[in-house]
Amino acid sequence: MKERLSIGVDIGGTSIKLAVVDSRGNIVHKWNIRTDTSEKGRNISSDINATITETINQLNMSPSDIEGIGIGVPGFINIESGFIYGAINIGWENYPLKDDLEARSGYPVMIDNDANLAALGEMWKGAGNQVSNLICITLGTGIGGGIILNGQILHGVNGMAGEIGHITSIMENGAPCNCGKTGCLETIASATGISRIAAEGIDCNPDSALSKVLKENGQITSEDVFTATNQGDEWANEVIRYISKHLGIAIANMSNVLNPSRIVIGGGVSRAGDQLMTPLKEVFSRFALPRVSQGAEFAVASLGNDAGVIGAARLIEIQSFER
């Protein structure tokens, strides 16, 4: 029997990641192209179609070896119609991506939010380990969230489910968030939030190693904070305790409502490993109900940048399986 293959696509503001993925979730081949955000992103669909056709040729595959194309998009999507209401970083507004790419390519196309597909990818082949109830939190420039319940992505009534970054963590006088609110978790526990908090407190902590970093580099990155923690820096430790507390309470509150079996932490900030995970788990177990805490296991995302394309391919794999 011939191997079923799918194409997974993960569209970002700078580059588009693509992969040929087999039916067990293994990447057969992966590559990148540049995201052409000019003219409101109108060339992206033809770019994707062209690079897929070219790559299938290069790999000596037949077009019929491919079952379909799954795509992750950072934006608001009508999942059923594959219509993009808006994807600011890409330039799309009211754009019928699924219809357009299906017409060009002749393949079935399935589209979902990129954070949801990262969760689906981790569930299928990564730290999610195939559990059917998981929360996946990506701590990067912003905070992305994907929720899988009963093995399915939770979309909610209009595709907004999983907006974990916009949980309000500071009720009054929180920092302004890109969403227009203040005090969102994203303003605290994202890489950007950690940088801001570390820099804002530096005047009161002039002896911190981070003070020197700020003077030399004009900024403190989240990696700088974790490095300083490693070296026993008191202010860096305090920053980590602070962000762990806000993140841990938010995860505990969500878990008291969702009762997940696994909580996967990904994104650049997750590379801090135990420096983040140890205080985070402590806060979580203090604020989650005992049975909720017992039922939930933490894991660091293991697929890195591949989570998106693997999750995108999974959309097609699920469809094929159901046919």
Please identify which residue in 24, 181, 212, 241 interacts with its own copies, judged by CB under 8 A: 181
Number of residues that bind its own copies (CB under 8 A): 47
> At residue 21, what are phi and psi to the nearest 5 degrees?
-125, 135
Task: Give CA–CA dist 249/262, Å, rounded.
Answer: 16
Work out how close the CB of 255 gets to its own copies at its nearest, in angstroms, rounded to a whole number: 8
Token digits of residue 237: 């430790």
CA distance 243 to 140: 14
What is the spatial distance between Cα 232 and Cα 241, in angstroms, rounded to a whole number? 13
Q: State the nearest-atom distance from the C-beta of 34 to its own copies, in Å.
A: 30
Which residues, listed in sequence order, are joined to residue 264 by a DSSP beta bridge?
136, 299
Instruction: Pick out residues in 281-320 that bind its own copies (CB under 8 A).
Output: 286-287, 289-292, 294-296
Contacts of residue 248, Cβ cutoff 8 Å, sequence gap at least 6: 279, 280, 281, 282, 283, 284, 286, 287
CB 290, min distance to its own copies, A: 8
20 vs 115 by CB, closer to its own copies? 115
Radius of gyration of the CA atoms of the chain, in A: 21
CB 172 → its own copies: shortest distance, Å? Answer: 10
Run of H or E including 141:
none
Q: Pattern of binders to its own copies over 245-264, x per CB under 8 A?
A: x---xx-xxx-xxxxxx---
Is there binding between residue 79 and its own copies (CB under 8 A)? no
Residue 224 to residue 75: CA distance in whole angstroms: 30
Which position among 98, 125, 166, 281 is part of the footprint of its own copies (CB under 8 A)?
166
Q: Which phi-psi region, left, alpha or beta, contains residue 234 (left: φ > 0; alpha: ψ -120 to 50)?
A: alpha
Contact between 268 and its own copies (CB under 8 A)?
no
Interface of this chain with its own copies, residues 107 to 146, rule: CB under 8 A? 131, 133, 145
**What does the binding site for its own copies look like in residue numbers (CB under 8 A)?**
76, 131, 133, 145, 147, 149-150, 152, 154-164, 166-168, 171, 179-181, 245, 249-250, 252-254, 256-261, 286-287, 289-292, 294-296
